[in-house]
DNA sequence: ATATTAACTGAACCAGCGTTCAGATCAATC
DNA sequence: GATTGATCTGAACGCTGGTTCAGTTAATAT
């Protein structure tokens, strides 16, 4: 047959994905060329097409993999029954997952409009699933009386926005450790959801 | 001399800016061509260069004008001395200003990386000025004892993120009026900043 | 009427794009 | 050592991008 051990494909493939991720995050999908990606991998542009049908698929695979990863990992979490504990748990999970992948979070928000309509729908569907998780969590706490919010839907958007916004400024080597970050945002999230608020 | 009344320049100029804004917001700066912008104005691509030196300047003028407008308008506001009233005032101002210009808000966040380094710095400087306004406002309330937050800096980022995130989903003709939106977010912001929180 | 000139056209320029593909390369197999 | 086939090169393809510019158009001033 042909090579198995010593084959480059198991190296080049991931390297292409990684290079595409970094370049898309830095310059934006439309501004990045296949030749730039190839150069970063140390290969000619044509070689990329052994690993992806086209540039669009390169973007889609990154975004789709990211969302699939997010949902899979959340499904594996053991969520406490108490609404306040569940909130803390979610905040910790969301922050941890997102600050570990700043580039993916970035392009998942920025490059949606560079997706084919069909590809866009696939991502959108997964995103909605995640937003529903947050909404349901808030609703449960409101019904039990643990949370007090003006509007559950709005609050779910606000909570996600303020948590995800962290990747815009947080740096692993900054003045704040990720543990400290989580603690601060748990407190902030509790306040936002009106935990212990006067009836 | 030549034409004054009936001159098209006072019409075409703004039309180009408007077309560029809409297209940049929809497809992204890098994905939009000068020919697309020209077509929307009803003119040939070459004509655009009577109004802007290049494509980059088209983007920069939009972003810079937006930030300048934001700062100018805030400077004209009459801010109450009481920290809680000041917070309400800011929330109302920020929401009103931003939901009236969703495209500008959008590209001001998305297209920063398509700016020249020099142009980027100019925008960044204005953005920092605005963030400082929020930070100072929070700090003042913390010192007076009206606000209770885990960390003033983090809270300022969180507040801006959750307010600005509104443009991602708010529609003028949706289920929520902009008045109602403001009321909800004033309440949410108060909770987030720990107004009336137990000491 | 004529001259003037701002505003615009239409065609061109060239660099660069995504993508293709015939052929070179070379580790694994026989 | 010859064969095989996955992997990659290097050059090319057709096309489109931003930008330029000589020339046309038409509203004003004289």
Residues A75 and A40 in one domain: no
Residues B11 and B65 in one domain: no
Tokens 């801010």 label which residue? Answer: B79
Q: Give residue A5's pLDDT.
A: 44
Looking at the 3D structure of chain A, how many domains does it have? 2
Q: Give residue A2's pLDDT.
A: 41
Q: Which residue of A has its CA nearest to B108?
A: A110
CATH code of the domain covering residue B166? 1.10.357.10
pLDDT 10s digit of each residue in chain B, 199 long? Answer: 344 444 566 789 999 999 999 999 999 999 999 999 999 999 999 999 999 999 999 999 999 999 999 999 999 999 999 999 999 999 999 999 999 999 999 999 999 999 999 999 999 999 999 999 999 999 999 999 999 999 999 999 999 999 999 999 999 888 899 999 999 999 999 999 999 877 6
User: Which chain A residues are closer than 8 Å to B168 by Cβ?
Assistant: 157, 161
CATH code of the domain covering residue B43? 1.10.10.60
pLDDT digits (tens, 9 = 90+) for A129-143: 999 999 999 999 999
Tokens 């509104």 label which residue? Answer: B166
Residues B78 and B39 in one domain: no
Residues B123 and B162 in one domain: yes
Angle B75-B79-B85 (CA atoms, 0-180°, nearest 5)? 145
Residues B84 and B169 in one domain: yes
Residues 6+ apart with CB under 8 A from A154: B176, B181, B184, B185, B188
In the stretch 106-125 of chain B, residues with CB closer than 8 A to chain A read: 110, 113-114
Complete DSSP assignment for B35-78: HHHHHHHTS-GGGGGGT-SSHHHHHHHHHHHHHHHHHHHHHHS-
Residue at minimal CA–C1' distance from D11?
A46
Residue B14 domain flag: yes
Bases on strand C under 7 Å from any protein CB: 4-12, 16-22, 26-30
DSSP A61: H
Label residue A11 by pLDDT band (50, 70, 90). confident
Tell me the average pLDDT across A64-93.
98
Q: Does residue A162 surpass a pLDDT of 60?
A: yes
Q: Give residue B1's pLDDT.
A: 39
Point out the nucleotide closest to B13 (alpha carbon to C1′): C7
In the stretch 6-65 of chain A, residues with CB closer than 8 A to chain B read: 26-31
Q: B46 lies in which domain range?
A: 1-52
Residue B62 domain flag: yes
Residues A15 and A61 in one domain: no
How many Å from the CA of B36 to C1' of C8?
Answer: 17
Residues A102 and A137 in one domain: yes
Closest CA to A160 of A40, A25, A70, A44: A70
Q: Are A161 and B127 in contact (CB under 8 A)?
A: no
* CB-CB neighbours of B38 under 10 Å: 17
The C-alpha atoms of residue A131 and residue B54 are separated, in whole angstroms, by: 41
């Amino acid at each position: 047959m042909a090579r198995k051990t010593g084959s480059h494909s198991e190296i080049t493939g991931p390297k292409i994905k990684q290079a595409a991720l970094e370049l898309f995050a830095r310059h934006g999908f439309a501004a990045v060329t296949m030749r730039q990606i190839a150069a970063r991998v140390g290969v000619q542009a044509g070689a990329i097409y052994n690993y992806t049908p086209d540039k669009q698929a390169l973007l889609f695979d990154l975004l789709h993999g990211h969302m699939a990863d997010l949902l899979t990992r959340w499904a594996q979490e053991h969520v406490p029954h108490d609404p306040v504990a569940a909130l803390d748990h979610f905040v910790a999970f969301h922050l941890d997952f997102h600050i570990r992948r700043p580039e993916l979070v970035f392009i998942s928000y920025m490059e949606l409009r560079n997706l084919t309509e069909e590809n866009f729908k696939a991502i959108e569907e997964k995103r909605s699933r995640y937003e529903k998780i947050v909404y349901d969590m808030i609703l449960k706490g409101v019904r039990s009386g643990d949370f007090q919010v003006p509007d559950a839907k709005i609050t779910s958007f606000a909570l996600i926005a303020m948590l995800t916004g962290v990747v815009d400024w947080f740096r692993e080597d900054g003045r704040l450790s990720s543990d400290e970050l989580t603690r601060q945002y748990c407190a902030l999230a509790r306040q936002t959801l009106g935990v212990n608020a006067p009836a």
